[in-house]
Amino acid sequence: MAEPIDLTSTKAVALAALSCLDLTELGDTATEAATLSLVDRAINEFGSVAAVCIWPRFVAAARAQLGAKSPVRIATVVNFPSGDLPVDEVVAETTRAVADGADEIDLVIPWKALIAGDEQAVRDMIRAVRAAAPAPTTLKTILETGELKDPALISRASDIALEEQADFIKTSTGKVAVNATLDAARIMLEVIQRSGKPVGFKPAGGIRTVEDARAYFALCKEILGVGWVSPSTFRFGASGLLGDILATLEDRTPSAGQGEAY
């Protein structure tokens, strides 16, 4: 178990959020220069984020900049954001990303197929990507909970991901109308609790403030107990959260523009 987070201390929450942050640049117009600027922000005087989450085409450059021994991991996305690519294309994306230096793969499941009742399509996708990215590569499955909507379907998607050996279940791409919510988080955390497996959880999209982080940490404590949250079990997927974390730790007001949705 990790050191418990003092949820009554805003600075303690901010430090924990920093250590669990997947600092994200998945904008449609992202450039290599912007991505490498993000990488430069991943380590600061208060510590480092858990990972940077970036487009596959920038993984090699980020790896070159970070080096082999950086505490910051490189996450990238596949089948993103639509979830509609053929399995062989997603496997190719994954294989290339791992070869380029990705430590973590965030896979969008074929959620439209799941809504249509085709669970096997979801299993086949996760299984193929898991084979292309075996341990120690971390596999996170993006369920797109805001599009699944039905609590029973969110629960079922979570169960399938765990059964197919995902390391994390993640709420969202950040590219749809409804992204991370505490309601979806509760469903997913309860699936993890019932499974008894050492699986992580990642809310993503729309998480902007330390107060948002506190709410998710409190929910994890309620469902999975004191000390469950750590970078190995919990991540935030966000672009704007770092600004509020640093403002909190530096005792200042966040500057304008530090609230991007993802």
pLDDT tens per residue across span 227-239:
999 999 999 999 9
Kindly state whether residue 259 falls inside one of the protein's structural domains.
Answer: no
β-pair partners for 236: 21
What is the separation of C-alpha 21 from the centre of its chain, rounded to a whole number of angstroms? 8
What does the pLDDT read at residue 254? 79
Residue 193 CB partners (closer than 8 Å, separation 6+): 223, 224
User: What pLDDT, on a 0 to 100 scale, did the predictor assign at position 156?
Assistant: 98
pLDDT value, residue 260: 43
Q: Is residue 227 part of a domain?
A: yes
Q: What is the pTM of this model?
A: 0.96
Phi, psi torsion values for 150, nearest 5 degrees:
-65, 125
Alpha-helical runs (H) found in the chain: 10-19, 32-40, 59-66, 87-100, 111-115, 119-132, 145-148, 151-163, 182-195, 210-224, 241-249
* Positions in the chain short of pLDDT 70: 255-262
Q: Is 149 a catalytic residue?
A: no
pLDDT, tens digit, for every residue of 110-120? 999 999 999 99
233, 247, 245, 241: which is closest to 260 by C-alpha?
A: 241
Alpha carbon distance 19, 257 (integer Å): 22
Report yes or no on 261 lying in a domain.
no
Residue 256 pLDDT: 53
Residue 111 near residue 148 (C-beta atoms within 8 A)? yes
Within 13 Å of residue 205, how many CA atoms lie on the same side as its CB?
23
Torsion over CA: 230, 74, 48, 217 (sign): negative
Does 255 map to a domain?
no
Does some domain include residue 245?
A: yes
Share of the chain above pLDDT 70, in %: 97
Decide if 135 is inside a domain: yes
CATH number of 28's domain: 3.20.20.70
Which residue is catalytic, options 103, 170, 175, 244? 170
Nearest-angstrom CA–CA distance, 56 and 124: 22
For residue 161, tell me if it sits in a domain: yes
Number of domains in the chain: 1
- Count CA atoms within 13 Å of residue 29 on its CB side: 0
- Write down the pLDDT at residue 2: 85
Exactly one of 103, 140, 202, 212 is catalytic; which is it?
202
Residue type, 228: W
Range of the domain at 188: 10-249
The single residue of 100, 106, 167, 244 carrying the catalytic annotation is 106
Query: Does some domain include residue 42?
Result: yes
